A and B are shown apart, each in its own frame.
Chain A
């Protein structure tokens, strides 16, 4: 059974720092991996999607990597800003195209 784990559960850093969020999964048979952002009480915003054949994706200050063989993904945020404060979730697409989710990392960027 696929399990997705995100570490750390919460992270607080000063503005301007580069940071890395981690996601691990137990079954490498995935179609893709996605990183989402969620603001309090709100829906989900898809940030990056990495297909199983890809190694990384970049969008602006965000870079996500995927290592299927080790069951790991990282989300790198460069030059963090207070507006980046949110919960970041990763999810893998498995059988039946269903998403298996991590519990998220709550990120706080201090001005």
Chain B
């Protein structure tokens, strides 16, 4: 069984630029999550999808972050414009029941 795929693995951008991350969940997993993990902290949930609908985006900074899950499969997370404090690892996870499976993450550095 293929795992959760994410790309790119690393990204370096300047502040005020835009960036997009892509996630392909495990086949058949209805629920998809995006997390932000700042160095030295646990992951913070940004958004949770159930199929192509949003379950929870209460911690998503909507003035600059957006996410979509068209057709209930792949998902993209976008930041526009980026700030220095957005430097973090962005993790995607998917689940069918109560266990989440994580991708390798995208490490974003904003300079």
Contact = CB atoms under 8 A, between A and B. Distances in A.
Interface of B is mostly: strand
Contacts of B103: 43
Contacts of B40: 103-104
A46 B98 CA distance: 14
Interface stretch (B42-50, B61-69, B73-81): B42-50
Contacts of B98: 31-32, 93, 97
Contact of A99 (B6, B41, B45, B97): B45
A96 B100 CA distance: 12
B51 interface: no
Interface of A is mostly: strand
Contacts of B45: 98-99
A41 B104 CA distance: 10
A97 B31 contact: yes
Contacts of B100: 93, 97, 99
Nearest to A90: B42
A32 B48 CA distance: 18
Contact of A96 (B6, B48, B104): B48
Please provide the 10 A-B residue pairs with the shortest distance between their CB atoms, ordered closest to farther: A101-B42, A43-B105, A43-B104, A31-B98, A44-B102, A103-B42, A93-B98, A97-B98, A101-B43, A41-B107
Interface of B: 6, 31, 33, 40-45, 48, 55-56, 89, 91, 95, 97-105, 107
Interface of A: 4, 31-32, 34, 36, 41-44, 46, 49, 89, 91, 93, 96-99, 101-104
